[in-house]
Each structure stands twice: as C-alpha cells, then as structure tokens.
Amino acid sequence: MADVVRLSRHNTAVAVIEMADREGRNTFTHALVEGLGHALRRVADDASVKVVVIHGYESIFCAGGTQEELLTLAEHKVTFDAHDFYRCLLDCSVPVIAAMQGHALGGGLVFGLYADLVVLSQESLFAANFMKYGITPGMGATLLLPMKLGVPLAGEMLFSARGYHGGTLRDRGIGMPVVPRADTVATALKLADDLADKSGVALRLLKQAMNHRLLRDLPDVIAREKAMHETSFAQPDVIGRITERFGR
C-alpha cells in the first residue's frame, strides 16, 4: 500500500497524499482504497496537520471504478456507499485541497470534488461519464456537481457524459483555479501554505460550516441515487456497455 499511496510532508502543517497506483491506473482498486484509508487515519492522528493536499501521478488523478467493481454493482452484490470511501475527503477533519493534475473520470471526478478546495489542470480531461455505461450517477454526484460546478454545467456533464478539458471548464466560468499541469501541485501547495498559518481549530470549524448543506442533504441524495441504481444497473445492456468500454 505504501507504494500505491504515499504520505509525505510539505512542511510541519501540510500533509501530502500521492495516489500512484500505476498498475490499476488510479482506479478504485483495493490497494488504492486501503492505502487512502491508512493515510487519512495517520493524518487524523497527527494534531500538527492543518491541511492535506492530494494528487495523482503523471497524467492521471483518479479514474473511478474498476471494471470488477462496476460489474459487482450491476449484479447487486454491493452498493457504492458500502464503506463510505467515496466521501473520505469530506470526512477528513482538516481542509483538503485536491490538485487534479491529471484526468479525473466518473467516480474519480466526484471523489476529488469532495475536497474543500480544488485546483485543475488545463490539459486534463474531467468527465462525469456514468451515463456512457448506461447507469445513473452515484457517490452523491447529483448533489455535488451542481454545488461545485454550477447547475447548468453539471447537468450538461452528467447527461452528456462528455469529457471536458480543464481549459474548457475555465472558459465556462468555474470558480476553481485552472493552471498548466506542471503547475497544478505547486499551486495547491501554495494555497495550502496560505491556510497553514491560520488557527487549526478555526480551520476545522470553518470546514464544518462550509460543508453544512452538503452534510445535511447528502444522506437523502445517496438514498435516491441507490434507488436509481437498482433500476439502471438492471437494464439488459449495462454489462455489455461496461465490458465494451473497459475493453477499449
């Protein structure tokens, strides 16, 4: 797990988590999920940490669910909220900055948007591509994307399932920094330095306050998305769509 998820320090108050599951291409493999859980528990146990920066490797931030996971969901053997992994950045007690230096697809995009602050790479692709598999969105996407990206753009991304380069999203007016890929992590670390000189208690309190509506509304949204999955995953073409797209 240490090779897949690496925890380091930028300085005393800023922890850095690198997702680098090259074999799994930063999909939600067991190794990546377990590694992230371990890293975040270490952060939670360290009172000196005030801010976390999370990023991927090379041109990949996070590519979402594995083929095995999607097929398991299609067979109704498990639901996406089984372990609440999808919201671990939200549940981290200190502010999290997601440096999306690479592509973020499907659940990988949603995962990153649970961070408190987000920096995007202008060259990378960002897609809420659930509908390409014939399935409705999950992980709270129907609440989180409109909240973070705005209702019109979120609706377009969710319905069309198209990929958008970071530069295109910047032109569409998202309120997040969009910088060249080579500058993404450095930009996030500079932002983390700005936060790190603040009171740790105040940062934690503000995180809770800023996420109040998300925390309040998320349980009902998750219940609705799971109900939609019961129907959409049961459609006869879904397994074929999943198999075909992963075969490309």
**What SS3 class is residue 141?**
helix
Q: What's the CA gap between 44 and 237, in Å, rounded?
A: 43
Q: What's the CA gap between 138 and 122, in Å, rounded?
A: 25
Active site residue 229: yes
Q: What's the CA gap between 187 and 167, in Å, rounded?
A: 16
Q: What's the CA gap between 148 and 138, in Å, rounded?
A: 16
Cβ burial of 154 (10 Å; 0-12, 13-18, 19+) is buried
- Point out the residues that are catalytic: 229
